[in-house]
Amino acid sequence: MRFGIFMAPFHPPAGQDPISAVQRDIEIVQLLDRLGYEEAWIGEHHSAGTEIIPDPMIFIAHVANLTRHIKLGTGVLSLPYHNPLLTADRAIFLDQLLRGRFMLGLGPGALPGDAAMLGISIEEQRGALEEDTEVLMRIINGESVTHKTSRYNLVDAKTQYRPYTDFDISVAAIASPTGPRIAGRHGLGLLSIGATAEGGFDLLAHHWDVMEQRAAEFGQRADRAKWRLVGPMHIAETKEQAIEDVKFGLDDWCHYTQKILAVPHFRAAGDTFEERIAWVNESGLGVIGTPDDAIRQIERLEKQSNGGFGAYLMMHHEWANSAATQRHYELFARYVKPRFQSLARGPIEAEQRAIGEWESLGDRVERAVAAATEAHFGASS
């Protein structure tokens, strides 16, 4: 299993210095790169004052030169806002510049204020994403496309670029079946955002059922390795410390989802700090607790997904201050990540073998040291 973040980014309340806020985002991605996380997905937003990266591709191009290993993806690019030819050119160009570290995430657009300013109706967005993904994939695959909508007019459009790699393309899934439908149709990956709670619209098995049905219909393969689950977490050495940490920013984040975001399927519950803690932990949405709590959450999601998934992405937020947030990612990398990856198995097996051999080998070492000592002093006399 791979691990990483899904970074909107959230910076509530509005009015913070955007330069320092985005600098914190950059430093988080650099930290994850050093800690061995595999992926970071960056969002696109244009309104509401809290999610303040307008172009994830520019952010990715900047951060690419400040990191070495971590893959960087658009999480997500709101495709109905963009011309598919220009999107294909930019994506392929980034794949070339990053030499295999770029990923393309697509979605309909999350903030209704963004669509309203662009003259796109909320009712149109999901259908537009299906239509535009079809056009985009044809262009990326080297076809020449003529296609007209109310949002663009392509005339024999063809990209002059070729990808450096077969880079990962994924589609966001939140409440509607649109994401799984598109991903299954084209054999793409799936980003299940906020679909970690135990009940309601976000039953993971339902997402995958739609994927498999559509993939079979169009002769594609639904690959669980390309399925990514997104959910919020904050961990510390103790649950009490984690709760103390999130006094810094949980209420501001919840207020944003309740009073500003205007996205009902991702709205915090509760009016008090205690009620909001309970909403995160008791709904199954996420974790405010310890590394052991995080492990149990991911194990539950594996079971709920009815067959497993390829990556878990923590929804990046600023519930805690910078120091506690960095500590969260360090603890997760040290204690949670290894439980679901093979790299730690060798050292664990070596330790168990050493424990099993400790008594017999220890006795032999003691006898060898004693014999060498006796031999030395015997020779000296």
**Does the pLDDT value for residue 202 go beyond 60?**
no
pLDDT range class, residue 199, cuts 50, 70, 90:
low
Helix (H, G, I), strand (E, B) or coil at 287: strand
**Does the pLDDT value for residue 267 go beyond 50?**
yes
Cβ neighbors of 83 (< 8 A, separation 6 or more) are: 151, 152, 154
Phi and psi based region of residue 120 (left: phi greater than 0; alpha: psi -120 to 50; beta: remaining): beta
User: Scanning the structure block, which residue is given the tokens 């510390």?
Assistant: 236
Q: What is the pLDDT of residues 112-159, one digit of tens each?
A: 999 999 999 999 999 999 999 999 999 999 999 999 999 999 999 999
Cα–Cα distance, 263 to 240 (Å, whole number): 31
Cα angle 272, 276, 279; round to 5: 140
Give Dmax (Cα) for the chain. Answer: 101
CA separation (Å) from 348 to 3, 326, 354?
20, 26, 10
Q: Cα 345 vs. chain centroid, distance in angstroms?
A: 24
Question: Which of 188-197, 239-248, 313-322 is least confident?
Answer: 188-197
pLDDT range class, residue 198, cuts 50, 70, 90:
low
Give the per-residue SS3 of 340-356: HCHHHHHHHHHHHHHHH
Q: What is the pLDDT of residue 201?
A: 44
Q: What is the pLDDT of residue 380?
A: 63
User: 2-340 has which fold?
Assistant: TIM Barrel (3.20.20)
Domains in the chain: boundaries: 2-340, 345-381
Cα–Cα distance, 160 to 89 (Å, whole number): 8
